[in-house]
């Protein structure tokens, strides 16, 4: 995963929602967009980047959104089948 490209894409998403008057709503919308349109590997790479160095290159609105909604962005392991 090219983290520089992911950061650029995330920042573009943030720019779109930045004009919303309600910062909390903007944060939720950014997270929802990432959840809906980014594949799990992309979200995991973005979370790892944020954890590794405070999200170097991420715009403040995106960094706040990812931190605030990280539980909904994290990839959950698939449930094991009963008896597996």
Query: Is residue 79 in some structural domain?
Result: no
Q: Quote the CA–CA distance of 75 and 31 in Å, as a whole number.
A: 13
Q: Give me the pLDDT at residue 1, please.
A: 72
Which residues of the chain fall below pLDDT 50?
Answer: 79-84
pLDDT tens profile 67-82: 999 999 998 755 444 4
Q: Give me the pLDDT at residue 53, please.
A: 83
Q: What residue numbers bound the domain in which 24 lies?
A: 3-73
Query: Is residue 58 in some structural domain?
Result: yes
Task: Report the domain count for the chain.
Answer: 1
Query: Is residue 83 in some structural domain?
Result: no
Query: Is residue 55 in some structural domain?
Result: yes
Query: Is residue 81 in some structural domain?
Result: no
């Amino acid at each position: 995963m090219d983290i520089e490209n992911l950061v650029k894409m995330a920042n573009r998403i943030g720019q779109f929602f930045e004009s919303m008057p309600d910062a909390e709503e903007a944060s939720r919308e950014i997270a929802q967009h990432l959840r809906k349109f980014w594949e799990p590997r992309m979200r995991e790479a973005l979370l790892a980047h944020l954890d590794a160095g405070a999200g170097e290159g991420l715009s403040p609105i995106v960094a706040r959104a990812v931190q605030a909604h990280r539980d909904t962005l994290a990839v959950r392991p698939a449930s094991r089948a009963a008896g597996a």
